[in-house]
């Protein structure tokens, strides 16, 4: 199975001062977030992994930035429309799909950033930093977004039969909860938590593109969209446990606002209605090679059936849901963002601009 090749795992700690006004409504209860701090994997990484390791090259970034900027897509990501990493430590190198930027490391980096920023302001250097860094009092007023867990599920899928998947998923969720508690202890109050998407619907997982899938899958192996059922079932189990832990955290921290966002349903909705929404078949990949049972990642070369193949990009990424078999295109990210930001897939059902009022 190709899921072991999730190479673009990274993290982002991102802050943005302009207030979230895109979702402004007539209600006077709109939140005025001075900053966004995001914790996540390559679905929301705006360049930290590329800065730490190998930088992306074209055609990454071609749609919006017209140059590679570290994002694992042709353009913008979900976090760009809102305003890679694992939850647990993985015993793998970056070349095997591992990353040193686990959720724990991200929270420690955030704490270090917070302490250093407060030190600058306390030293009377406010004028030099207030235009580029959040003021100490703004950390509590910020929104904290999370899009993480996909790589943990991928690792669990690779170890099916070797580990108790139910226990592994429980451990992942407990680890996640402890890091959220750490952030709550640092003064964070508003949380926008994405569950994980339908990992079995990633083209790199689908039998149609898997070089090891020469044998016709048994009945029930895939669903009506060609997605692998048991992989999606693991994602659903993770999401169920994640939602339960969010409910538990609400009881523990009644002063905090924790919004659970059903990214799985939003993404699966797009995949199920791809043609209706103007996209090509969701199994198709814009940047990469996926024919004759072979899969090459974006910009890779290989000799296939005696011929050198270069995995280039498609002519129009806006027609594709998948950019490189693992990550979504800008067009798909925009579609999904438009679905979730108004609260349609949230529990409680609040738009992101009102999420500070979920206590």
How confident is the model over 144-190, as pLDDT tens digits?
A: 999 988 989 998 888 877 678 889 999 999 999 999 999 999 999 99
Mean pLDDT of the chain: 83
Q: In what order do the strands lie in the sheet with 143-147?
A: 36-40, 143-147, 190-194, 257-261, 346-347
Q: How does residue 20 score in pLDDT terms, banded at 50, 70 and 90?
A: very low
Strands 143-147, 36-40: pairing kind: parallel
Q: How far apart are CA 163 and CA 113, in angstroms?
A: 37
Q: Which residue range(s) make up the domain with 260?
A: 2-280+330-357
Residues 6+ apart with CB under 8 A from 115: none
Which neighbouring-strand residues pair with 163?
160
Does the active-site annotation cover 324? yes
42 a catalytic residue: yes
Whether residue 106 contacts residue 186, with contact meaning beta carbons closer than 8 Å, is answered with no
Position 345 in a domain: yes
Does pLDDT of 86 surpass 90?
A: no
Catalytic residue among 45, 152, 262, 324: 324
The answer to whether position 288 is within a domain reads no
pLDDT higher than threshold 70 for residue 18: no
**Within a domain: 306:** no
Following DSSP, what letter does each residue of 229-260 receive, concatenated? Answer: HHHHHHHHHHHHHHHHHHHHHHHH-TTSEEEE
pLDDT tens string 311-341 = 999 999 999 999 999 999 999 999 999 999 9
| DSSP H stretches of helix in the chain | 48-52, 78-82, 103-122, 126-129, 150-158, 165-185, 229-252, 263-272, 330-340
Active-site annotation holds for 213: no
CA 204 to chain centre: 16
Q: Which candidate in 8, 42, 73, 74 is catalytic?
A: 42
Per the model's pLDDT, the better-predicted residue between 291 and 226 turns out to be 226
Crossing angle (nearest 10°) for helices 263-272 and 229-252: 150
**Is it the case that residue 5 has pLDDT exceeding 70?**
no
Looking at residue 308, its pLDDT comes to: 92
Residue 312 and residue 231 in contact, taking contact as beta carbons nearer than 8 Å: no
Choose the catalytic residue: 209, 290, 295, 327: 327
Q: Decide if 16 is inside a domain.
A: yes
Q: Which of 12-26, 197-211, 239-253, 271-285 has the lowest mean pLDDT?
A: 12-26
Q: What is the pLDDT of residue 91?
A: 56
pLDDT of 286 over the 80 cut: yes
Q: Residue 180 falls within a domain, yes or no? A: yes
Residue 296 within a domain: no
Q: Is the pTM of this model over 0.75?
A: yes
Cα separation, 244 vs 13, in Å, equals: 26
| Interstrand relation of 288-291 and 294-297 (parallel, antiparallel or unpaired) | antiparallel
Length of the chain: 359
- So what's the pLDDT on residue 13? 46
Residue 28 lies in a domain: yes
Domain count of the chain?
1
Q: Cα–Cα distance between 116 and 236 in angstroms, integer? A: 39
Cβ neighbours of 231 (radius 10 Å):
24
Residue 4 or residue 235, greater confidence: 235
Residue 312 lies in a domain: no
């Amino acid at each position: 199975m190709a899921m072991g090749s999730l190479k673009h795992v990274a993290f982002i700690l991102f802050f943005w001062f302009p207030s979230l006004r895109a979702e402004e409504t007539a209600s006077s209860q709109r939140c005025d977030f001075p900053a966004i701090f995001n914790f996540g994997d390559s679905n929301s990484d705006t360049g930290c992994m590329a800065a730490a390791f190998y930088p992306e090259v074209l055609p990454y970034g071609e749609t919006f930035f017209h140059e590679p900027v570290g994002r694992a897509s042709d353009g913008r990501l979900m976090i760009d429309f809102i305003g890679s990493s694992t939850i647990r430590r993985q015993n793998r190198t970056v070349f095997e799909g591992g990353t040193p930027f686990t959720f724990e490391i991200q929270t420690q980096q955030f704490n270090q950033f917070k302490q250093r920023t407060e030190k600058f302001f306390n030293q009377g250097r406010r004028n030099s930093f207030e235009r580029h860094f959040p003021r100490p009092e703004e950390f509590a007023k910020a929104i904290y977004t999370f899009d993480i867990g996909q790589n943990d599920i991928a690792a669990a899928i690779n170890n099916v039969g070797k580990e108790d998947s139910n226990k592994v998923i429980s451990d992942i969720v407990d680890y996640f909860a402890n890091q959220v508690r750490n952030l709550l202890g640092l003064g964070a109050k508003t949380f926008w938590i994405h569950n994980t998407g339908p990992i079995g619907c990633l083209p790199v997982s689908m039998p149609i593109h898997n070089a090891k899938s020469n044998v016709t899958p048994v009945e029930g192996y895939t669903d009506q969209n060609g997605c692998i059922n048991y992989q999606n079932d693991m994602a659903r189990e993770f999401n169920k446990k994640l939602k339960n832990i969010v409910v538990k955290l609400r009881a523990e921290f009644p002063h905090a606002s924790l919004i659970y966002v059903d990214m799985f349903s939003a993404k699966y909705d797009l995949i199920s209605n791809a043609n209706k929404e103007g996209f090509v078949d969701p199994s198709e990949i814009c940047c990469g090679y996926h024919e004759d049972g072979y899969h090459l990642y974006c910009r890779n070369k290989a000799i296939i059936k005696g011929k050198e193949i270069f995995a280039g990009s498609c002519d129009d990424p806006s027609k594709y849901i998948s950019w490189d078999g693992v990550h979504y295109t800008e067009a798909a990210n925009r579609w999904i963002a438009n679905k979730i930001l108004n609260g349609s897939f949230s529990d409680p059902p609040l738009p992101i601009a009102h999420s500070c009022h979920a206590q």
